[in-house]
Amino acid sequence: MSSCDKKQTIKASTQTDSLSVSSSIRDTLPKKFIGTYQGSISCDDCEFVVLTLDQSNTYKLKIQLFTDEDSKGSIIYEQGNFNWDRKNSTIALDKFGFKFKAFEKKLYYLDNTGQYDTEEYLIKQ
Helix, coil or strand: residue 52: strand
* Neighbour-count burial of 110, counting CB atoms closer than 10 A to its CB (0-12 exposed, 13-18 middle, 19+ buried): buried
Reported as a single tens digit per residue, the pLDDT across 79-96 is 999 999 999 999 999 988
Residue with the bigger pLDDT between 94 and 3: it is 94
Reported as a single tens digit per residue, the pLDDT across 21-79 is 444 456 789 999 999 999 988 777 778 999 999 999 999 999 998 776 655 668 899 99
CA distances to 5, 27, 78, 124 from 2, rounded to whole Å, are 10, 39, 25, 30
pTM of the model: 0.76
Is there a contact between 112 and 98 (Cβ–Cβ < 8 Å)?
A: no
Alpha-carbon distance of 37 to 18, in angstroms, equals 24
